[in-house]
Amino acid sequence: MAMTVCINQPHYLPYLGYFKMIDECDVFVFYDDVQFEKQSWQCRNKIPQEDGFAYMQVPTKKTYTELNFQLPLGNLIQTNPKVFFAPPINQVEIRVPDFYLSQIDLLKSNYQKSPYLKELLEILEPIFKAQFNKLSELNITLIKVLANYIDLKIPVWYQSSAIKIKGGQTERLVNICARMGADSYLSPVGSKAYLEEGLFAENGIKLRYLNINPPDHWSIIHSLLTLGPQKTKEIIQNQLCINTD
């Protein structure tokens, strides 16, 4: 039986393309043990407003650890250079538990005339009020609940931290696919720049890319509040493009 796997970092309230990949795959792996990036989709997303856009963001605790060691610098030795390393996403903690209150106010202000606002807030608020300690737990819960709300085809969910498969950048993706018995891997088209495509071919795995033209990276929240869940589902399933090469 054909099987498509998608492996993606757990983003915060991601854009429509993220949910297209969920709808297109049989197994979705949250890549939750790769390095956290503070100014990234891992902890924030954006919605449009009159003066441009506004960020919806999860405040996180200090994530970078300063390393203390000596580094050769020509004929000198530099002591305690400022070198910082971020932890994996699944170790990042939320700094302000009630951060969502200002975001709810932002949604009420920007989408006050939306007929879908009340229903969507009834879905989001219990998740926020649960006050997850870890960023990845919050993101994964929101993604799963919204996929169900839109009524997408729900894949089997995994987290890479639980699978514990090693390897280099592309090698690890291939190894995860192989573990799942995949014959197809679905990836954002932006990954084409660094994926070693030959490794997939060598393992009998076909690469498929999601390519949105023109790109629209507003959070799915914008679509849900302007178009509603049914129209959002139709856009995801019928208007977003999957390339096979």
Q: Strands 27-30, 4-8: parallel, antiparallel or unpaired by DSSP?
A: parallel
Question: Both tokens of residue 101?
Answer: 């209150």
Q: Strands 65-67, 83-85: parallel, antiparallel or unpaired by DSSP?
A: antiparallel
User: Given a cut of 70, is residue 2 above it in pLDDT?
Assistant: yes
Compute the chain's Rg from CA coordinates: 20
pLDDT for residue 71: 52
User: Given a cut of 80, is residue 240 above it in pLDDT?
Assistant: yes
Question: Both tokens of residue 93?
Answer: 């903690």
Q: Residue 200: name the closest of 211, 184, 179, 188 by CA.
A: 184
Task: State the Cα–Cα distance between residues 2 and 198, nearest whole angstrom.
Answer: 20
Task: State the Cα–Cα distance between residues 189 and 194, nearest whole angstrom.
Answer: 10
Q: What is the mean pLDDT of the chain?
A: 91
pLDDT one-digit tens code per residue, 20-41: 999 999 999 999 999 999 889 9
pLDDT for residue 214: 66
The separation between the first and the last C-alpha atoms of the chain, rounded to the nearest angstrom, is 21
Which pLDDT band, with edges at 50, 70 and 90, does 211 fall under?
A: confident
DSSP 8-state secondary structure symbol assigned to residue 73: E
User: Given a cut of 60, is residue 222 above it in pLDDT?
Assistant: yes
pLDDT for residue 81: 53
Task: State the Cα–Cα distance between residues 28 and 183, nearest whole angstrom.
Answer: 14
Q: Strands 184-188, 4-8: parallel, antiparallel or unpaired by DSSP?
A: parallel
pLDDT one-digit tens code per residue, 62-97: 766 665 555 555 555 555 555 556 899 999 999 999
pLDDT one-digit tens code per residue, 144-191: 999 999 999 999 999 999 999 999 999 999 999 999 999 999 999 989
Supply the DSSP string of 55-88, one letter for each residue.
Answer: EEE--B---PEEE--EEEETTEEEES--EEEPPB
